């Protein structure tokens, strides 16, 4: 652990940005957050995929899913509440139409998966097990926007263990459960992921939230409630990543309101091995790219030759 402060490095020095997420080596620790980068191709004109650590695509289920009615998102102060409802084309169409496009890039693709039952989680994981071009699976146990069971997987420790264990049985791909923030003991979920065979964990998913229009007295979302993301949740996310890091040895992908290089650094300082940029991509599609560049500069200023020195380097 790096506790001392060091003199800055030369401007020409190129710090090592590579990190390991379990068996997965990333060229840098900055990835996109599931649900905010579509299936990647939507951003192909604007973002250089080769500069990203990894691309995490929007949640995929076994069958196509039409999601919620509109309005599906509402902007709030420093945040966005969404209730898209996991709309996706299903695993087969995703593999045929979207994964095929993503394979053209060297950047690892992490596929976010979800199901309504333990069996569905296992089935979609099994389908991806032999699929080239899928570097890892992120398990969405915590999307607050579907009512049929998934919420339980994210906040009930027994159900969480079951689904993680079932996915572990179904695939040898690196497996990354994505944790819900609305639990009383995040450390317990981090440990349960480790004990159930996860290779890493990611957190946090969106924070359950709602907005009402006082004039009409109606909810602002068709789904009534949704998940809050963006800068508003960053301090909450940071605290949960810090707690999770103290509870498990698993690599952590930290996320929640990251819009600047310094935010990414903060998550790594409290123990994340990598970070994901989510809602910020909507306004500035090149945020993740910018943070990759910013991290090298930040490390030089910190006198660190490798980004790995930053992980868990919180000074007391």
Partner 1 sequence: MQTQPPSITIEDAEVLRQEPWQGGYHLLVLRAPFIAPRVQPGQFVHTRLTAPADAILRRPFSVFKADGDTLQILYKPVGRGTSAMCALRPGDSLSLIGPLGRGFPLPRPDAVPVIVAGGYGMAALYLLAKTCPRPGLAFFGGATVEDILCVSDFEVLGWEVRVATEDGSRGVHGLVTAPLDAFLANPSRPSTIELFACGPNGMLRAIAERAHHYSLPAWVSMDRNMGCGLGACLTCVQKVRGPNGHAVWARVCKEGPVFDAQTILWEDEA
- Using CB under 8 A as the binding rule, the residues of this chain from 191 to 220 that contact partner 1 are none
Among the residue ranges 6-14, 79-87, 154-162, 167-175, the one whose residues contact partner 1 (CB under 8 A): 79-87
Instruction: State both tokens at 34.
Output: 């599931």
Based on the shown chain and the rule CB under 8 A, indicate whether residue 90 belongs to the binding site for partner 1: no
Based on the shown chain and the rule CB under 8 A, indicate whether residue 101 belongs to the binding site for partner 1: no
Q: How far apart are CA 163 and CA 142, in angstroms?
A: 12
Among the residue ranges 20-28, 73-81, 116-124, 142-150, the one whose residues contact partner 1 (CB under 8 A): 73-81
Based on the shown chain and the rule CB under 8 A, indicate whether residue 92 belongs to the binding site for partner 1: no
What Rg value do the Cα atoms of the chain yield, rounded?
19
As a three-state string, the secondary structure of the chain is CCCCCCCCCCCCCCCECCEEECCEEECCCEEECCCCCCCCHHHCCCCCHHHCCEEEEEEECCCCECCCCCCCEEEECCEEEECCCCCECCHHHHHHHHHHHHCCCCCCEEEEECCCCHHHHHHHHHHHHCCCCCCEEEEECCCCCCCCCHHHHHHCHHHHHHHHHHHHHHCCCCEEEECCCCCCCHHHHHHHHHHCCCCCEEECCCEEEECEECCCCEECCCCCEEEEECHHHHHHHHHHHHHHHHHCCCCEEEECCCCCHHHHHHHHHCCCCEEEECCHHHHCCCHHHHHHHHHHHHHHHHCCCEHHHHCCCCCC
Instruction: State both tokens at 279.
Output: 């809602």
- Total chain residues near partner 1 (CB under 8 A): 36
Residue 258 phi, psi dihedral angles, 5° rounding:
-75, 120
Among the residue ranges 149-157, 167-175, 284-292, 306-314, the one whose residues contact partner 1 (CB under 8 A): 284-292
Based on the shown chain and the rule CB under 8 A, indicate whether residue 66 belongs to the binding site for partner 1: yes
Based on the shown chain and the rule CB under 8 A, indicate whether residue 225 belongs to the binding site for partner 1: no
Among residues 18, 87, 117, 225, the one that binds partner 1 under rule CB under 8 A: 87
- Using CB under 8 A as the binding rule, the residues of this chain from 17 to 46 that contact partner 1 are 35-39, 42-43, 45-46
Among residues 34, 82, 248, 287, the one that binds partner 1 under rule CB under 8 A: 82
Across-strand partners of 24? Answer: 21
Which x/- pattern, by CB under 8 A, does the window 239-278 give for partner 1?
A: ----------------------------------------
User: Nearest-5° angle of CA 118, CA 120, CA 124?
Assistant: 125
Nearest distance from residue 45's CB to partner 1, in Å?
A: 5
Q: Which of 31, 83, 86, 143 is the catalytic position?
A: 143
Based on the shown chain and the rule CB under 8 A, indicate whether residue 297 belongs to the binding site for partner 1: no
Based on the shown chain and the rule CB under 8 A, indicate whether residue 286 belongs to the binding site for partner 1: yes
Nearest distance from residue 253's CB to partner 1, in Å?
A: 20
Based on the shown chain and the rule CB under 8 A, indicate whether residue 157 belongs to the binding site for partner 1: no
Check if the beta carbon of residue 136 is closer than 8 Å to that of residue 80: no
- Using CB under 8 A as the binding rule, the residues of this chain from 105 to 124 that contact partner 1 are none
Q: Is 75 a catalytic residue?
A: no
Nearest distance from residue 256's CB to partner 1, in Å?
A: 14
Residue 37 vs 114, nearer CB to partner 1: 37
Among the residue ranges 163-171, 181-189, 266-274, 282-290, the one whose residues contact partner 1 (CB under 8 A): 282-290
Which residues contact partner 1 (rule: CB under 8 A)?
A: 35-39, 42-43, 45-46, 58, 66-67, 69-73, 75-80, 82, 84, 87, 222, 230-231, 279, 281-286
Q: Would you name the residues annotated as active-site residues?
A: 143
């Amino acid at each position: 652990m790096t506790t001392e402060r060091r003199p800055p490095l030369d401007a020409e020095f190129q710090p090592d940005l590579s990190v390991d997420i379990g068996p997965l080596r990333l060229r840098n620790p900055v990835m996109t957050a599931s649900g905010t980068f579509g299936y990647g191709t939507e951003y192909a004109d604007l973002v250089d995929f080769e500069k990203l650590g990894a691309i995490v695509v929007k949640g995929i289920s076994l069958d196509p899913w039409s999601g919620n009615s509109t309005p599906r998102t509402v902007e709030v102060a420093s945040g966005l509440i969404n209730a898209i409802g996991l709309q996706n084309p299903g695993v087969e169409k995703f593999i045929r139409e979207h994964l095929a496009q993503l394979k053209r890039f060297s950047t690892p693709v992490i596929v976010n998966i979800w199901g309504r039952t333990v069996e569905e989680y296992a089935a979609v994981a099994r389908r991806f097990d032999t699929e080239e071009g899928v570097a890892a699976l992120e398990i969405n146990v915590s999307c607050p926007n579907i009512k049929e069971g998934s919420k339980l997987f994210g906040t009930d420790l027994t159900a969480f263990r079951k689904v993680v264990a079932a996915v572990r049985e179904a695939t040898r791909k690196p497996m990354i459960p994505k944790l819900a923030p609305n639990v009383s003991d995040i450390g317990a979920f981090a440990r349960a992921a480790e004990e159930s065979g996860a290779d890493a964990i990611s957190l946090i998913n969106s924070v359950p939230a709602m907005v009402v229009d006082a004039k009409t007295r109606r909810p602002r979302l068709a789904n009534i409630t949704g998940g809050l993301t963006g800068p508003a949740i960053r301090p909450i996310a940071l605290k949960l990543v810090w707690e999770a890091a103290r509870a498990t040895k698993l690599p952590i992908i930290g996320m929640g309101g990251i819009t600047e290089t310094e935010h990414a650094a903060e998550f790594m300082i409290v123990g994340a091995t990598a970070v994901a940029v989510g809602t910020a991509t909507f306004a500035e599609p090149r945020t993740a790219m910018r943070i990759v560049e910013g991290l090298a500069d930040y490390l030089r200023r910190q006198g660190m030759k490798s980004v790995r020195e930053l992980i868990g380097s919180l000074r007391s």
